[in-house]
Structure formats: C-alpha cells, structure tokens
Amino acid sequence: MNFSRNPNPKEFVDRYLQAVRFWQPKTARQEDVLAELGEDLRSQIEEKETELGRSLNPDEVAAILKRCGSPMMVAGRLGPTQHLIGPALFPIYIFVLKMVLLWILVPVFIFIVGPVNLANANGAWGPTVAVTLGNLWSGLFIAAGIITLVFAIVERTSSRLGDECKWDPLKLPPVRPQERKPSFAKSACELAFGVFGLIWLLLVPHYPVLILGPAAAFLKAAPIWHTFYFPILLLCLVGLLRSAITLWRPGWTSFPLWSQLLQTALTFVVLNFLINAAHAGNGSWQPFLMPENAVANSAHYIEVAGFVNLSILLCLAGTWLGLCIATVVQVWQLLMYLRKRFSGAHQPATLAR
C-alpha cells in the first residue's frame, strides 16, 4: 500500500478524523458525528482559503487542527456524556474488570479456596459453598472498588493534562482502509499488568501466601514446579515484550495478531509438557502441592492437598482445551487480516463520505 510522501494539505483532515475514530468508542452515531466534525473542519479551511485568496499549506492546516484539539480529547468531547469513567477509558475499564474479576479471582476461589474450605469443613458442601461464595463476593466487591477508584483518578488526571499534551497534526499516520490500530490505552494497561504479573511471579517462591493465601501455612509447592518455574517466567517475559512492542509500534497492525498466536503456541507447548510431567504413568499423577513437613503425616491435610491437586489438574485440562480453541480462533483472525490486507492493497483510502 503506497501513500504519498507529500500529501495534499486537506488530507490531514482525513488523518485527523481517523485518529478521532480510533479514540472514540463505537456508537450508532459515530459516523454521523465524525461527518459533522469533518464538515466543520473543511468549512474552516475553505473560509481561511477565501480570506487569503490561496490554498493553505500543511502548516496552516495543522494550525486549524491544533485549535480543534488533540484527537483523544476531541473524541472524549464528542463521545457520550461522561460520568465517573469517561468514554475514552471505559472500554479499558471493562476489560480490566473482566480480567481481574472473572479470569483471576473466580478461578482462584473455585480451584484453590473452594477445595481448601471443603476439606476444612470435612466434606460438608453446604457450609463450604456458603463460605466460599461469601468470600468471593467480598473479594469481587473490594477489587471492583479499587479498580474503579484507580480509573476515576486516571480519568480526572488525564482530563486536566490532556490539553497540555504535545501533538503534531503533521505526524498523524496516513489513512488506512478500514484498519484499526491497537488501542494505546489497552496496550498500556496490558504492559502495566504484565509488569505487575512478573513482579508477583518473582515473589511467589519467597512468599507462597501470594498464591495460596491462608493455605500456605500447611501447603507447599511440589518439586514439579521447580522444573517449570523458569519456562513460566519466560512466558511472562514474552508477553511483557509483546505488550511493549505493541505500545512502541502501534502502526505495526499485524504484530498483535501473529505475536499473540506465537505466545499462545508457546504457552500450549509448556502446558503440554507440564501435564505430561505430572502424569507419572500407571494411572498415577505427581502432586502439584504437598503438605508442609510439620503436617506431612496428618490425614486431614493430606486430604486437603488431594482436593487442591485435583482442582489444579482440572484447571490445567480446561486451560489446555481453551488454548486449543484460542489457537484456532487466532489462526482464523490472522488469515482474515491477511486476506483483507491483500484484497484492499490497491483500493483508495478515504474517510470522506
């Protein structure tokens, strides 16, 4: 796809609208709002040209766009009425909520806290379910409150600093046909959570309570984790590198697709080796967690460890199946991207309608 190195000054309006579309949440009126904004900008350019009696140069068009404001701030003004979390951050806010509440807390309570409570209650399902759901509700409520508070602070801070951020309309990327770049905010959040996850992973061997909670008093990691800790750490570093590159090179639109597929494949390989290593043969399995030495001979804590090991094994099996499905989906997305890229390579790109 070729773009002119010296574009028509009015093309910067299309580039500007593309940048606004990137930051604006999708709504039914998105295209109408962008059309009105484009018409207003072109009217300002025409009035200025009439006043000067000549066509505007790129710097003069850039001055008009600068007066309008940065694309991110304009997208926020043109979006729905802002409440606690504005439209620019709201999709990222929902993503983080889902990740923390549904992908982290719920599995931890189902596969670790629940089995521990069940073993401590001597197999009494009723009290175990009630206590686990109560603890889960409290954890979800606290986590949601903390995440909301953090995003509210970011929203207020960004609204004050947004007008002062430096941006150059002349450096806006060329218009691409129906091609959406990775969200800057999403990539930044992925990078931040990746750093947090790496720190957490480095601390877990020294502070098992970070993953086992109160169960760390009587459970410890089995030798199998000593073998796979380093590969898991490398997977975390790969994910961190992927987020950093996505944030550094947002114009590299194919990178998130094939790098995500590569990361999924690497995770699948490590997980497959982990499951095979856990299967000792003759229908027996190596434990993932063991009772601490002080309670190693306690039948009660041996039973607790058995419940937790079974839960971890089921979790790994579910993850294995999920990775298989994710691989198929990601391969399909990459093929559709390549097909769309090649089929639209010679089509003209414009936002004007």
Whole-number pLDDT of residue 353: 39
Per-residue pLDDT tens digits for 259-307: 888 888 898 888 888 888 888 766 677 888 888 887 777 788 788 888 8
Residues 288 and 334 in one domain: yes
The domain total for the chain is: 3
Q: Of 151, 166, 181, at which residue does a domain stop?
A: 166
Residues 304 and 274 in one domain: yes
Q: Model's pTM, two decimal places? A: 0.49
Nearest CA to 313 out of 277, 264, 267 is that of 277
Q: What is the mean pLDDT of residues 151-155?
A: 75
Nearest CA to 351 out of 43, 58, 42, 80 is that of 42
Residues 228 and 100 in one domain: no
Whole-number pLDDT of residue 215: 77
Helices 11-23 and 58-68, packing angle to 10 deg? 30
Residues 146 and 234 in one domain: no
Within a domain: 203:
no
Within a domain: 58:
yes
Within a domain: 214:
no
Q: Quick check: 4 pLDDT over 50?
A: no
Within a domain: 197:
no
Residues 347 and 229 in one domain: yes
Q: Of 122, 149, 166, at which residue does a domain stop?
A: 166
State how far the Cα of 127 lies from the Cα of 50, in Å rounded to an integer: 79
Residues 230 and 349 in one domain: yes
Residues 86 and 143 in one domain: yes
Residues 318 and 236 in one domain: yes
Residues 125 and 69 in one domain: no
**Domain coverage including residue 107:** 82-166
Whole-number pLDDT of residue 68: 81
Residues 251 and 342 in one domain: yes
Q: Quick check: 182 pLDDT over 80?
A: no
Whole-number pLDDT of residue 166: 58
- Per-chain mean pLDDT for the chain: 76
200: left (phi over 0), alpha (psi -120 to 50) or beta: alpha
Within a domain: 178:
no
Q: Quick check: 317 pLDDT over 70?
A: yes
The model's confidence at residue 50, banded by pLDDT at 50, 70 and 90, is confident
Within a domain: 206:
no
Share of the chain above pLDDT 90, in %: 0
The model's confidence at residue 89, banded by pLDDT at 50, 70 and 90, is low
Residues 310 and 226 in one domain: yes
Q: Quick check: 176 pLDDT over 60?
A: no
Within a domain: 45:
yes
Q: Of 166, 181, 202, at which residue does a domain stop?
A: 166
Per-residue pLDDT tens digits for 98-143: 777 777 777 777 767 777 777 677 767 777 777 778 878 887 888 8
Whole-number pLDDT of residue 223: 87
Residues 226 and 302 in one domain: yes
Within a domain: 16:
yes
